[in-house]
Structure 1
Amino acid sequence: MKPKPVSREQSHIIYIGKKPTISYVLVAITIINKNNKCSIQARGRQISKAVDIAEITRRKFLQDNIEVDKVIIGSEELPSDIEGRGPKTVSTIEIILLKQ
């Protein structure tokens, strides 16, 4: 199965998963250097990792050249894994970083 091509609108988005934090930091730096904008998105338990990635990128690597533009928090309803239970609500976060 071939991966779907990433549209230009989605080329600045990072979805946080189970990879090591530094992997996402390096991707964020690459995206910011190309696009001047990076969106870090996570849900559930990965929210704290998303905040860590944004702060490491901002404070350790790109110091004065980057700022947090917007932080959007919300929730999504997911279907339940177990039959007979209602939908599950999961928290979400989106952190948008901009190059100054």
Structure 2
Amino acid sequence: MSASNAHAGRKAGNEIFIGKKPLMTYVTATLVQLANEPMVIIKARGKSITRAVDVAQIIVKRMDMMGYKIGPVKIGSEAVQSPDGRIRNVSTIEVSISRAR
């Protein structure tokens, strides 16, 4: 996946890629996916990681009556080539959210 696709906010299956759009855009997108899928994975890297955590917390805390829960959280790093040609590591996170049943 190229760097431009990673933060475009597009959905691939049950994945939500967090980028620079307003926070509630991702909350809404995740809730729509959760209506159709039993589990959704919120993915982010770099500076968008804090927004991904915020999205997960909003869904779990504010939608308490809906019974959503945070599942496994994966952290890692990814080698990315910067515009000047250098390779650098960027932190990544994947947060799974599912309906508690």
How far, CA to CA, are the matches of 2:68 and 2:30 in structure 1? 11
Match of 1:28 in 2: 30
**1:98 Cα deviation (Å)?**
0.9
Listed as ranges, the gaps of 5+ residues in structure 2 are 1-11
Match of 2:91 in 1: 91
Query: Which one-letter code corresponds to 2:30 in the other structure?
Result: A
Listed as ranges, the gaps of 5+ residues in structure 1 are 1-9
Match of 1:15 in 2: 17
How far, CA to CA, are the matches of 1:61 and 1:24 in structure 2? 14
Within a 5 Å distance, the mapping from 1:69-84 to structure 2 comes to 69-83=71-85
**1:64 Cα deviation (Å)?**
5.3
Match of 1:40 in 2: 42
**1:62 Cα deviation (Å)?**
4.4
How far, CA to CA, are the matches of 2:55 and 2:90 in structure 1? 20
TM-score scaled by length of structure 1: 0.83
Asked which structure has the greater CA Rg, the reply is 1
Query: Which one-letter code corresponds to 1:21 in the other structure?
Result: L
**CA deviation profile, 1:54-88 (whole Å, cap 9, x unmatched):** 000111124451111110000000113214xx411
Query: Which one-letter code corresponds to 2:62 in the other structure?
Result: K
Secondary structure at 1:46 match in 2: helix
How far, CA to CA, are the matches of 2:77 and 2:61 in structure 1? 28
| Amino-acid identity (%) | 33
Query: Which one-letter code corresponds to 2:54 in the other structure?
Result: D
How far, CA to CA, are the matches of 1:80 and 1:33 in structure 2? 37
Displaced runs of 4 or more, over 4 A: none
Higher RCO (CA-CA < 8 Å; seq separation 6+): 1
How far, CA to CA, are the matches of 2:83 and 2:64 in structure 1? 41
TM-score scaled by length of structure 2: 0.82
